[in-house]
Each structure stands twice: as C-alpha cells, then as structure tokens.
C-alpha cells in the first residue's frame, strides 16, 4: 500500500495534473501570485480567484533530507526528500528517485543540483510526482 496524499478542493487541480503529466502551480487570477502548497485564498491579495499554470518541471535542490526512519508504508527506506525551487519561483517538497543513499556521506545529491520531474502512476486515481537528477 502506498501513502496517499491528501486530495481536497484546494489540491484537486494538482492531482488532476500529475495524472496527465503536468506539474501544476496554483496562480492567483487576481494578482498573478504563484503559491505552493495550494490554498483557498491568495496570500498576496486575499482574493479567492484561483487558477493554475503548468510548470516546466525543472528545478534546483534547495535542501534535502535522507529519510531512514520511521518506516513509511509502501516505501523501501531510505528515501531522499528534497525541497525543490522550481524555475517558476515556488518551492515544493518531493521525493527524489534514483539517488544512491549508501551511507550518510555518500548521498549522490547536493544543494544546487538540477532536478527534473517524473511521474509514478500508483493506480488509476493517483499519480505521484517524483524528482530525478537532470
């Protein structure tokens, strides 16, 4: 069983996007501010007029952790979780796949590394975004 993210009115557009291979960023239709995580009201102008744009799917590692403990359902640990600065200017958290985590000193990822989004289809209703080194 995989970990299922919270899907609600605020984040539905995001998960609709990953299903068709789009990384969507919420954008305020009133003032154009981008935000992540998505929310009902704009933090810049307090308007509730939400839209989105499709991100390029590329970004840079701002920081990361190697998650070794506690166990995560459906995951073989360790996994790398990174804060990714998208080229569009929002910061997003996500798992980075394909990175060796042999020991604490041998993690093949560094702050500033370029990442590209990929998609992991869990089932017909859920596709998770996953990052790989570009």
42 scored as a contact of Zn ion (CB under 5 A)? yes
User: Cβ contacts of residue 22 below 8 Å, gap of 6+?
Assistant: 54
Closer to Zn ion by Cβ: residue 88 or 113: 88
Give the H/E segment covering residue 14.
helix 12-19
Tell me which of 11, 16, 30, 128 binds Zn ion, using CB under 5 A. Answer: 30
Rg, Å, the chain Cα set: 16
Residues constituting the chain: 134
Contact between 45 and Zn ion per CB under 5 A: yes
Q: Which of 31, 54, 97, 111 binds Zn ion (CB under 5 A)?
A: 31
Examine residue 44 and tell whether it contacts Zn ion (CB under 5 A).
Answer: yes
β-bridge pairing 91-96 and 79-86: antiparallel
Q: CB of 66: closest distance to Zn ion in angstroms?
A: 36
| Out of 23, 28, 61, 86, the residue judged to bind Zn ion by CB under 5 A | 28
């Amino acid at each position: 069983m995989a970990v299922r993210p919270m899907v609600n009115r605020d984040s539905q557009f995001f998960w609709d996007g990953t299903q068709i291979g789009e990384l969507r960023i919420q954008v305020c239709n009133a003032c154009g501010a981008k935000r992540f995580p998505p929310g009902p009201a704009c933090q810049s102008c307090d308007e509730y007029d939400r839209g989105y744009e499709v991100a390029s799917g590329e970004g840079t590692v701002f920081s990361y952790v190697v998650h070794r403990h506690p166990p995560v359902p459906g995951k073989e640990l360790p996994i790398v979780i990174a804060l990714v600065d998208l080229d569009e200017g929002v910061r997003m958290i996500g798992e980075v796949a394909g990175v060796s985590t042999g020991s604490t000193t041998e993690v093949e990822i560094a702050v500033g590394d370029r990442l590209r989004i990929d998609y992991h289809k869990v089932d017909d209703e859920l596709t998770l975004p996953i990052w790989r080194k570009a």
